[in-house]
A and B are shown apart, each in its own frame.
Chain A
Amino acid sequence: MTIFLQAVNVLLPLLYGLSLIFYVSHFNTKKPKYGTWASSILLIGIITHAVYIVGKGLYFQYFPISNTSESFSMLALNIAVLYYIVERTNKEGATGLFFLSIVFLFQLVASMFINGFGTSNELLSNPMFGFHVTLTLLGISALAIAALYALMYLMLAKEIKRHHFGVIYDRLPTLETVEKMGMFATGFGIIFLGIGVFLGHLWAYKILGYFFTSDPKIVITDIAWMIYAIGWIVSWKLGLRGLRMSLITFWGFLVLFISIVVFSMFLQTFHRFS
């Protein structure tokens, strides 16, 4: 089993790298065949990755985010899955290059710095805990994807506005498509992160006996998610679209990310597992 996992560990960056090469070719040439190949190889990569993570989890009986390498690998899979869904739903592969670059980089780091398999952390040995982590990571990944689409929207709108027809104008899909892809990812993000956070509270109730904790990381995550979700939904309901909505999505994610990641780095928290 270990040999199989080691082999897949090498194979994954290769698959994502190959897919990235085809996405770059698709972006440069606009030839649909490159897009089809890129997408097909990405799907093979996702399936292989999922088998790798599930296989590893089942064999060693733990949820594989016990160290930085495993967390990077999980993030790579999440972004790959979400991007694949967004791409297939909108039938638009021109933006794959941006997301596969991240996926490839994350998986390369994960594969290079892997340090054995298994964990001594009891919490990670509980499969129920996996749902909380998976959904939370999926939610954050989806919001990151939405933020990147919002950035693309702003850049493309700027080019159109300034009558400058450069590479971005020439290669990116229409403003409407970029907006739709971003909205799709945002919807995913709010729902997944919301469920992930809720499951975390349930878990806390199970092991600590109370639903809400005063742990700063959790409090900040709750507040940040709530502000993001409410702000975004209200803006949507008010009918805001396009430029303003992209600005809200982009800055909303930055605030959320800074709140969750940066604050938790400097504040005392029980919420560390590695």
Chain B
Amino acid sequence: MNSDHTIAIIGFSHKNAPVEFRDRISVDEEMASRFIDAAMGTDSPIREIAILSTCNRTEFYFVSPLSLSDLRQWLVEQYRSLMNIEIMQPDIQPLMLQNEEAVDHLLSVAGGLESMMLGERQILSQVKASYDLILSKEYSFPILNRLFQSAIRAGKAIHTRTNLCRGAVSVSQAAVELARKIFKSFQNRNILLVGAGETSKLVAEHFREIGTHEFVIANRGEARRKQLAERFNGRAKAIPLEQIPAALLEADIVVTAAKAPDYLITYKDMVQAMKGRKYRVLLLIDISTPRVIDPRVANISEAFLYNIDHLKNVIADNLEKRKGEIPAAQSIVAEVREEFLVWLRSLEVVPTISKLTEYFNAIRIQELEKFAHKTTEKEYSHMEQLSKSIIRKLLHYPIISLRGMSNGHNLDLSKIEVVWEFFRLHEFKGKEEK
């Protein structure tokens, strides 16, 4: 078999390497480009290369006749020379896969099946970025080009045909998900954020993504509340904690992520606010620990109060639902993988058939030539026809089997290698090669 078509992957991810190591070996676009240049140099045994590097994984995809250990050695040397980093560490074993397993891995990665947070969507755009990088280079990547196209297709199919990527899996997303069950549109919604820390920023960002423009930020420290308010281009209002009761009259959603010794929103505040709001529905999400909204607020009919535990339950439920979608996503991966492998096998089978035919014909001609001067022209012509017919019949079933292999689902690429070894096709030089 033509081992030039061997696909391999060597990678580090959250599954086999600690975060410090992952941070160190992570490569940006410019560095990835340098790795590609190094791999595609004139004397390099690597035919194709692509690099997928995110915060949780750095993976190198190769098409090369080299063994996995040789590819690993090549990678170690490149890290040394390009980044001055030692990646060969006794306690860290990279993921090393070939052919079907490597293909399967990339498709699963693109669909979010291998992500730290099952069903993560962002990874697909990172796979696209890796694909865009190899497209932007002047080299030819026929196999990885096709493989990455298949991966992107698998990722999109998993997003649209399954629920693997649906449902919030972070506290801030869960807050938005809850709000989406109450309000249809967020354009004219007023959101009161109590606290101006990282969590508040994250929640505000999520609400801004779905169209909210009006934020009121209540915080003890003036500098921090103003700093957060400035992020919203003048559409956010910064207020001290004392003004929370007044802000409750206008708010549609209240998110608290603050530290305070007492409740910042008391039951009495809410009862009064509800009268002023004419009992308009209010969603309150208390992410603070300890809680800063009086739990008795939940007794008010129109106040929907959620705390961090409730949100964690939402996340756990969603993760459980996502896990239930794994078989459906895996079947999409299997479907796309088979399509890709059929294509890849056709690359292997076509040269094998032509090489085999050429080999048989060379023997035929060689043997015929022994009789060239011992027979009449007419006899020679008959012998020629007979030999052609015998060769055709001899090759009929092997060729049908080879073609069938490329379309079938049970071909181990190494089976084609047997054909090459059987007839020593590697040693045989066809007309063009001579």
Residues on A lying within 8 angstroms of B by beta carbon are: 156-157, 160-161, 163, 165, 169, 173-177, 180, 238-244
Contacts and interface: CB of A to CB of B under 8 A. Distances in A.
A160 B302 contact: no
Given A163-B306, A242-B302, A243-B302, A174 B181 contact: yes
A156 B185 CA distance: 18
Nearest to A169: B181
Contact of B279 (A156, A173, A176, A240): A240
Contacts of B301: 161, 243-244
Contacts of A239: 278, 280
Interface of A is mostly: helix
A175 B317 contact: no
Contact of A165 (B182, B184, B302, B314): B314
B302 A175 contact: no
Given A160-B304, A163-B306, A238 B278 contact: yes
| Interface hub of B180, B182, B317 (most chain A Cβ within 10 A) | B182
- Most A C-beta atoms less than 10 A away, residue of B183, B281, B310: B281
Nearest to B279: A244
B287 to A, nearest CB: 15
B313 interface: yes
Interface of B: 178, 180-185, 278-281, 298, 301-302, 304, 306, 310, 313-314, 317
Given A173-B184, A174-B183, 10 more contacts: A156-B181, A161-B304, A174-B180, A174-B181, A174-B184, A238-B278, A241-B281, A242-B281, A243-B301, A244-B301
A239 B276 CA distance: 10
Nearest to A247: B301
A155 to B, nearest CB: 13
Most buried by B among A163, A174, A180: A163
Contact of B184 (A163, A176, A238): A176
Contacts of A241: 278-281
13 contacts: A161-B301, A163-B313, A165-B314, A173-B184, A174-B182, A174-B183, A174-B184, A175-B281, A176-B184, A177-B184, A243-B281, A243-B302, A244-B301
Contacts of B298: 161
A175 B302 CA distance: 12
A160 B182 contact: yes
Contacts of A174: 180-184
A243 B182 contact: no
Contacts of B314: 165
B281 A163 contact: no
B43 to A, nearest CB: 55
Contact of B310 (A163, A177, A242): A163
The list of the 8 closest CB pairs from A to B, nearest first, reads A239-B278, A176-B184, A242-B281, A174-B184, A175-B182, A177-B184, A163-B310, A176-B183
A180 B182 CA distance: 12
Contacts of A175: 181-183, 281
Nearest to A238: B278
A161 B281 CA distance: 11
Contacts of B281: 157, 175, 241-243
Nearest to A177: B184
B302 A176 contact: no
Given A165-B317, A241-B279, A243-B301, A176 B182 contact: yes
A242 B279 contact: yes
A239 B278 CA distance: 6
Contact of B278 (A161, A165, A180, A240): A240
Contacts of B302: 242-244
A59 B204 CA distance: 65
Nearest to B299: A161
A156 B278 CA distance: 20
A229 to B, nearest CB: 20
Nearest to A242: B281
